[in-house]
């Protein structure tokens, strides 16, 4: 292989790398959204980039959703099993959903299914 060819290939790799980085960065600028469902209907669409705690009224009691650092979790939920709180922090881009069956509330990231 000629030296010229090697330089060309390295240059091509750098260009592809930069293009990939730009693509990744622009993808991340798109704010993730979470949807809160109650009785299988969207009751709230939440911007994951805003740190805030939301309160919802479920069938059993109160359901709190804490959003922080592009992550979210269920806290201080009034339900008998607390399975929803055991899920813990869910990161942006994660396909894990928080389900609180006693309250008939679940929290998902709707963008995931369409982009993957």
Q: How far is the CB of 111 from Zn ion (least distance, A)?
A: 24
Of the pair 64, 93, the CB lying nearest Zn ion is at 64
Phi, psi of 95 (to 5 degrees): -90, 0
79 touching Zn ion, by CB under 5 A: yes
Q: Which of 77, 98, 107, 108 binds Zn ion (CB under 5 A)?
A: 77
Of the pair 90, 100, the CB lying nearest Zn ion is at 100
Q: How far is the CB of 73 from Zn ion (least distance, A)?
A: 12
Q: Which of 34, 48, 67, 84 binds Zn ion (CB under 5 A)?
A: 84
100 touching Zn ion, by CB under 5 A: yes
Which of 66, 7, 60 shows the shortest CA–CA distance to 36?
Answer: 66
Q: How far is the CB of 98 from Zn ion (least distance, A)?
A: 8
HSE-CB of 100 using CA atoms within 13 angstroms: 30
Which of 111, 105, 113, 65 shows the shortest CA–CA distance to 89?
Answer: 65
Q: What order of strands is seen across the sheet that includes strand 52-57?
A: 52-57, 62-68, 71-75, 90-91
105 touching Zn ion, by CB under 5 A: no
């Amino acid at each position: 292989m000629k030296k010229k060819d090697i330089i060309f290939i390295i240059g091509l790799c750098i260009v592809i790398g930069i293009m990939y980085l730009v693509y990744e960065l622009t993808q991340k600028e798109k704010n993730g959204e979470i949807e809160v469902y109650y009785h299988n209907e969207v009751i709230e669409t939440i911007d994951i980039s805003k740190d805030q705690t939301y309160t919802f009224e479920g069938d059993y009691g109160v359901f709190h959703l804490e959003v922080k650092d592009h992550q979210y979790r269920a806290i201080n939920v009034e339900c008998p099993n607390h399975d929803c709180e055991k899920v813990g922090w869910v990161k942006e881009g994660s396909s894990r959903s928080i389900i609180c069956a006693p309250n008939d509330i679940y929290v998902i990231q709707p963008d995931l299914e369409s982009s993957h």
